[in-house]
Amino acid sequence: MSINLAAEVAPATGAASQAWLLLALPALGAAVLLLAGRRRAQGWGHLLGSATVLGAFVYGLVLFFESTGLSPDQRTQDLLLFEWIPVGSLDVDIALRIDPLSLTFVLLITGVGALIHIYSIGYMGHEREDRSRFFAYLNLFIAAMLLLVLGNGFVTLYFGWEGVGLASYLLIGWYQGRGYAATAAKKAFLMNRVGDVGLALAIFLMFKTMGTTSYAGVFEQIGGQSTAVVVAIGLLLLLGACGKSGQFPLQAWLPDAMAGPTPVSALIHAATMVTAGVYLIARSSPIYSLPQAADARLVVMIVGAFTLLLGCVIGCAYDDFKKVLAYSTVSQIGYMMLAVGLGPAGYAFGILHLLTHGFFKAGLFLGAGSVMHGMNDEGDIRRMGGLWKKMPITFATFALGYLALIGFPFLSGYFSKDEIIYAAFGEEGWRGWVFGGAALLGALLTAFYMTRLLVLVFLGKPRWEGLKSEDGKDYHPHESPSTMTIPMIILAFGSVAAGGILATMLPEWLEPSVGAVAEREGLVSHGMVAVMATVAMVIGAGLAYLLFARGEQPVERPQRVSWPVRAARADLYGNHLNEALFAKPGTWLTRALVFVDNRGVDGLVNGIAAGLGGSSGRLRRTQTGFVRSYALSMLGGSILVIAALLMVRFA
């Protein structure tokens, strides 16, 4: 079937031999901005920050075009920078792998990244003093994310993996004064760390069984490993992917992460970082494509399908603008997971959906940011409505992103999502029906909650009139400055056109990285899937329109609602579960251990000391000072000694 992915690694030549520049530019940007301090960099920090990412994007384009000039089997190139951790048989290098998959990501990251940097210039205009630090963190993120996708082994991937986690932590907790932002940042980092344990253990297992952790080495030897090892590695990698990509059961951090500034949500928590899990599985396609890994792949599919429905259901119930989008992200990444779980039939479409999603979700988030920017940072969609008149550009770009997301025919999402649904129906037996059905149901629900969002924010009556925001100001919605609208317009173009353009070219382009797309006979034909998906979309959107566009919508959230809505509002009890299973027992365990350590372990030591002191105190009392009692004890002692001597003598 596919070409042997491991065997064809060429040393980097041409522009690719300087590919370290990709990492160095944003990394230097971050270092300079952090060292310069906020006062010195106030005037130029945002410009430097944007310029480095733009430079990296241009360099990425150069690499891309150079790569397209090569024949497909020469497109996978390795570039050794330096030896990182060489100890004994373990040899970890800082080295880059430049191949179609990583280049695709490089363009996505630097392209969307650059747009969002530019957008942030306007968005962070209110807090000029700290803006350069914000750009430093963004640059740090870009550098780490590029390392993640460019590294040529699992350890360098892990380096970038934790690096983006750090950047994400710093940016979620950007509003240091708000307690919940700090908590959300910590939660994000911790849940990611849980996933990282999986990734780390996968790396350890690779080293134990194969003696290497580089892609080339692992992919070459993985075929010879036992089923148990392959499945274990597959599941451990999946755990890592679940953490980073907000998949069940580690999804709870992503909605909370919306506490960060909106450009951060767009870049990190929608377009790039959270898709790293999908990248990981696509990158490990030589592992997952093995017949031994079928069980692991099934688990990936189950996780993906379950998460995509979970995200949709919860998304229907939320009233917070960004959290609805966050759950939408959870759900869309579920689609991607499902796709890459399908194996050779789905890798390319998972990546395709990832790219189109990168465009329209980033655009949607920027739209959300634009709305909130004009509405005193208000996030409650019940307090909005009728905003299309006040923010026409935002509305237009948001609507295009919305149409792309719900899979409106011939926009981006239509191509990518339908391919996934089609591929899911292509599984054998019950799996085809279950996964295909789940994906189709997801499409219906997606249309429902997104329509609800659009209607409540932009259409209907302006419910915000006469209300005041939390800080007591009136709402004066207004269109955002051009540094913010231009990136939105560009992304809207992407939402419209990217799917159509990429759908034909991407599978072939990615072939050297993830193998060829496996064609197979599906349960339903391609055309049929398109019809079914469109019908599902129309039903979902129509239902939402009927429910929310007609009549008055209350400004206050209705409290007397049915059980499913209550469950969805409570994140389907995901947080309760975490709380009950980990947080509470952990807290009790910690308290108990502190007690044991103070009273038990240390108590034992202090107890011995106190015991010695106390018994000496008692013994001291026998020293009465009466000479005659000493004499008596001497006498008694002598008698004892003599008795003992006699006993020994005559026994």
Does 194 sit near other proteins (CB under 8 A)? yes
Q: Does 618 bind other proteins (CB under 8 A)?
A: no
Cβ distance 159 to 145 under 8 Å? no
What is the 3-state composition of the chain as percent helix, strand, coil, each rounded to the nearest 5? 75, 5, 20
- In terms of CB distance, is 531 or 610 closer to other proteins? 610
Please give the Cα distance from 460 to 464 (Å, whole number). 11
Q: Which of 112, 114, 200, 443 binds other proteins (CB under 8 A)?
A: 200
Nearest 5 degrees, angle CA 560-CA 564-CA 567?
Answer: 90
Shortest distance, position 164 Cβ to other proteins, whole Å: 11
For residue 11, the cross-strand partners are 78
The site map against other proteins for 296-335 (x = CB under 8 A) is: ----------------------------------------
Contacts of 498 (CB under 8 A, 6+ apart): 355, 356, 359, 412
Residues in a beta bridge with 97: 78
SS3 (DSSP) at 94: strand
Least distance to other proteins, CB of residue 25, Å = 17
The smaller minimum CB distance to other proteins, of residues 163 and 401, is found at 163
Phi-psi category of 625—alpha, beta or left, where left has phi over 0 and alpha has psi -120 to 50?
A: left
CA distances to 59, 295, 597 from 474, in Å? 46, 57, 56
305 within 8 A of 338, measured Cβ to Cβ:
yes
Closest alpha carbon to 143 in 153, 156, 132:
156
DSSP state of 518: P
Name the 3-class secondary structure at 93.
strand
Residue 627 interacts with other proteins (CB under 8 A): yes or no: yes
Task: Please identify, among the stretches 360-368, 491-499, 540-548, 615-623, the one whose residues bind other proteins according to the rule CB under 8 A.
Answer: 615-623
Smallest separation, CB 267 to other proteins (Å):
20
Q: How far is the CB of 233 from other proteins (least distance, A)?
A: 13
**CB of 202 closer than 8 Å to CB of 194:** no
| Residue of 535, 589, 641, 642 interacting with other proteins (CB under 8 A) | 589
557 binds other proteins (CB under 8 A): no
**Residue 172 · residue 203 · CB < 8 Å:** no
- Nearest approach in angstroms of CB 196 to other proteins is 7
Q: How do strand 77-87 and strand 90-98 relate by DSSP bridges?
A: antiparallel
Cβ proximity to other proteins: between 162 and 418 the closer is 162
Q: Of 40, 178, 476, 576, which lies in the binding site for other proteins, with binding defined by CB under 8 A?
A: 178
Which H/E stretch holds residue 569? helix 563-569
In whole angstroms, the minimum distance from the beta carbon of 29 to other proteins comes to 16
| Coil, helix or strand at residue 177 | coil
Instruction: Candidates 57, 59, 134, 169: give the one binding other proteins (CB under 8 A).
Output: 169
Nearer to other proteins, 203 or 498 (CB): 203
Q: Tell me how far, at minimum, the Cβ of 89 lies from other proteins, in Å.
A: 4
CB of 142 to other proteins, least distance (A): 15
C-alpha dihedral sign at 603, 604, 609, 611: positive
By beta-carbon proximity to other proteins, the closer residue of 160 and 341 is 160
CB 358 within 8 A of CB 145: no
Q: Which of 573, 597, 599, 644 binds other proteins (CB under 8 A)?
A: 597
Closer by beta carbon to other proteins, 184 or else 312: 184
Does residue 611 interact with other proteins by CB under 8 A?
Answer: no
> Of these, 7, 80, 90, 641, which contacts other proteins (CB under 8 A)?
90
Q: Applying CB under 8 A, does 159 fall inside the site for other proteins?
A: yes
What span, in angstroms and rounded, lies between the C-alpha atoms of 537 and 557?
26
The answer for residues whose C-beta is within 8 angstroms of residue 597's C-beta and 6 or more apart is none
Q: Which residues bind other proteins (CB under 8 A)?
A: 34, 38, 82-90, 94, 155, 158-159, 161-163, 166, 169, 173, 176-179, 181-183, 185-186, 189-190, 193-194, 196-197, 200-201, 203-205, 207-208, 211, 586, 589-591, 593-594, 597, 601-602, 605, 620-621, 623-628, 631-632, 635
